Homo-oligomer: A and B are copies of this chain.
Amino acid sequence: MSLVRSDIGRLLQYKLCLLRFKELGVNTIFSYNLGEAAGVTAVQVRKDFSVYGIKGRKRGGYNIDTLLIELNNIFGNSRKNIVVVGIGNIGKAIIQYNERFVKKNLHIVAGFDIDPSKQNKSYGVPIYPVEKISEVIKNNNVSTAIIAVPFQVAQELCNILISAGIKGILNFAPIILKVPDEIIVDNINLSNKLEGIIYNINL
């Protein structure tokens, strides 16, 4: 399977914005304010909430704590374990961000690399050889992996990850992975993102 309903992305963005508003001491918010912060229209906000049965008060807006509880009900607030395959430029950047991911209950519990020299330095996350993938994923109840290896080996690693029980993949390699229908894949292709932006600039 490929991707992510588009309203889900917006709900996650709302969550982020709401946490920031809360930090600033705001308790109540109108769809207009939240839309402004999240880069969408006020109607879009209300419609999204409406679809998920989230209610505000007419003329009173939404209570931020309530909203956050409702959003946490949708997304769950249990711990999620993640691994990173390929501890090169991107992989390293990601595991070094782990401290911040942990605040969102996203825990990078291991990295994997074929290069033994990567297995020494740990950046706070243990790095294992690829032979350990299956064992580590099974022992740590890992559902999700980030692929940051060269595209030539990405499909191979993807297959290993799926055999080990991975259900979702965030893939940085510039290739479309072939996966069974029930596996969720999301791709980030930076070159294409840049080319897309430049295309739009020149439109």
Contacts and interface: CB of A to CB of B under 8 A. Distances in A.
Contacts of A174: 16
State which size class the interface on A falls in: 35 or more
Contacts of A2: 39
Nearest to A91: B93
Contacts of A94: 89, 190
A80 B200 CA distance: 13
B176 A197 contact: no
A176 B12 contact: no
21 contacts: A4-B199, A8-B196, A8-B199, A8-B200, A9-B192, A16-B174, A16-B192, A38-B176, A39-B176, A76-B198, A76-B199, A76-B202, A80-B194, A89-B93, A89-B94, A93-B93, A106-B191, A144-B201, A146-B194, A167-B201, A188-B188
A54 B110 CA distance: 46
B168 A184 contact: no
A64 interface: no
Among A167, A186, A194: residue with most chain B CB under 10 A: A194
Contacts of A176: 13, 17, 37-39
A194 B106 contact: yes
Contacts of A9: 192, 196
Nearest to A101: B191
A184 to B, nearest CB: 4
Interface in A4-23: 4-5, 8-9, 12-13, 16-17
A33 interface: no
Nearest to A88: B93
A47 B117 CA distance: 48
Among A76, A89, A90, A195: residue with most chain B CB under 10 A: A195
A191 B92 contact: no
A195 B13 contact: no
